[in-house]
Amino acid sequence: MFTLSLTLVRHGETQYNKEKLLQGQGVDTPLSETGVQQAEAVGKYLGDIAFNYVFSSNLQRAIHTAEIIRRNNTHCSGTEMVLDPLLRERGFGVAEGHPKEHLKNMANAAGQSCRDYTPPGGETLDQVKLRFKKFLKALFQQLSDEHGRAGAPEAANGMAAAASERAPGGSAEDGLQEASVHALVVSHGAYIRVAIKHLLEDLKSSLPAGAKMSQVFSPCPNTGISRFVFTLSPSESGPVLSAARCCFTNRKEHLGNLTAAEKCGGKEMG
């Protein structure tokens, strides 16, 4: 049995985010100047966390964000970054490259909510969820093979001890003292929302005390941070999830020193 922390971070702002244009998978834009500043801010916020694994979507806005986070980290600057297409943003088909208002109009014409609507050529929410489930299953198997019978890594133990000395609540290390292995995932707004929904509703992750559902499922801001902790038990058929806990979602305290415009970025999609 071992415990894993999974830290999810949305990429920094792009020019398309700023202009409220859909990117999806077909529009692969770099970070804007504000996006780089946001990535630097989240990198410094997470700078003392000893991530054992770093995963990123293979779209450049996520890759650049992950590179900046890794560069600012005192423990994992040399950790290999794995680019995984399973972490790519939801595909929005013919709506990609168009204003988000265009997607809303298409959804209204179809009599559906914008979040549930699938434009022609796009991915359904279930297809996005299936990609995340495949990623999570592979992650659990890899970490179970590598850590399931081993003790906690020294760096993680040291970090947990340091975290236990800090005041609870609002810390970058919240939840990490429970885990022996730490994974960072950099992905996208719509994808992360689907992932959080799956972790809470399907895997029955427990919520933090006093958590409001409006906050838990609110749109993830650029470089917003969410964290879950999983306890896995070995079995002949592979690791079994024994417990899952949500530590927090969509945290953005690290953006406190940026201007209001820099904080907002693009909402969720992209």
What is the chain written as a DSSP string?
Answer: -EEEEEEEEEPPPBHHHHTTB--TTT--PPB-HHHHHHHHHHHHHTTT---SEEEE-SSHHHHHHHHHHHHH-TTTTTSPEEE-GGGSPPPBGGGTTSBHHHHHHHHHHTTS-TTT---TTB--HHHHHHHHHHHHHHHHHHHHHHHTTS---HHHHHHHHHHHTSPSSS-TTTTGGG-SEEEEEEE-HHHHHHHHHIIIIIS-PBPPTT--HHHHTSPPPTT-EEEEEEEEE--TTS-EEEEEEEEEEEE-GGGTTS-HHHHH---S--
The binding site for substrate comprises: 10-17, 61, 100
- Predicted local confidence at residue 149, as pLDDT: 60
- The answer as to CATH 1.10.540.10 being correct for domain 2-149+171-265 is no
* 72-105 tens-digit pLDDT: 999 987 889 999 999 999 999 999 999 999 999 9
Question: Can you tell me the mean pLDDT for 193-216?
Answer: 93
- Predicted local confidence at residue 268, as pLDDT: 61
The binding site comprises: 10-17, 61, 100
Closest-CA residue to 68 (of 32, 43, 101, 93) = 43
- Predicted local confidence at residue 264, as pLDDT: 52
Question: Which positions are catalytic?
Answer: 11, 89
Question: Can you tell me the mean pLDDT for 38-65?
Answer: 97
pTM above 0.75, yes or no: yes
CA angle 270, 95, 217 (to 5 degrees): 40
Examine the pLDDT at 217 and tell me if it is beyond 80.
Answer: yes
**Given pLDDT bands bounded at 50, 70 and 90, which one contains residue 157?**
very low
The domain spans of the chain are 2-149+171-265
Examine the pLDDT at 122 and tell me if it is beyond 80.
Answer: yes
